[in-house]
Amino acid sequence: MTTHYESSHPRVRRWANTKDAAAHIHRHPEVLRRWHRERDEHPWLPMPRRVGKNLLWDLDELDAAIDARVDRPEGR
């Protein structure tokens, strides 16, 4: 009997603080902070979770958002 455990377990999220998330996407932390502050200009940016004074970013969501920006046709 074969059991598939992959479908029964939720996805494991990879969380990072702003400094590490910015390094992950090869940007300065202040760029990520500015994008977050200017939500109207950057609606594609996923919302981080606030834990105390810190923001935690889901790296998979951040990757997907960046990839969608890179893959979109010019002029849009």
- pLDDT band of residue 76 (cuts 50, 70, 90) is low
pLDDT of 6 higher than 90:
no
Strand partners, 15: 58
Residue 56 and residue 15 in contact, taking contact as beta carbons nearer than 8 Å: yes
Pairing label, strands 54-58, 49-51: antiparallel
How are beta strands 15-17 and 49-51 bridged, if at all? Answer: unpaired
pLDDT digits (tens, 9 = 90+) for 18-71: 999 999 999 999 999 999 999 999 999 999 999 999 999 999 999 999 999 877
Structural domain boundaries of the chain?
A: 12-71
Helices (H) and strands (E) in the chain, counts: 3, 3
pTM: 0.76
Strand order in the sheet with 49-51: 15-17, 54-58, 49-51
pLDDT tier at 11 (50, 70, 90 boundaries)? Answer: confident
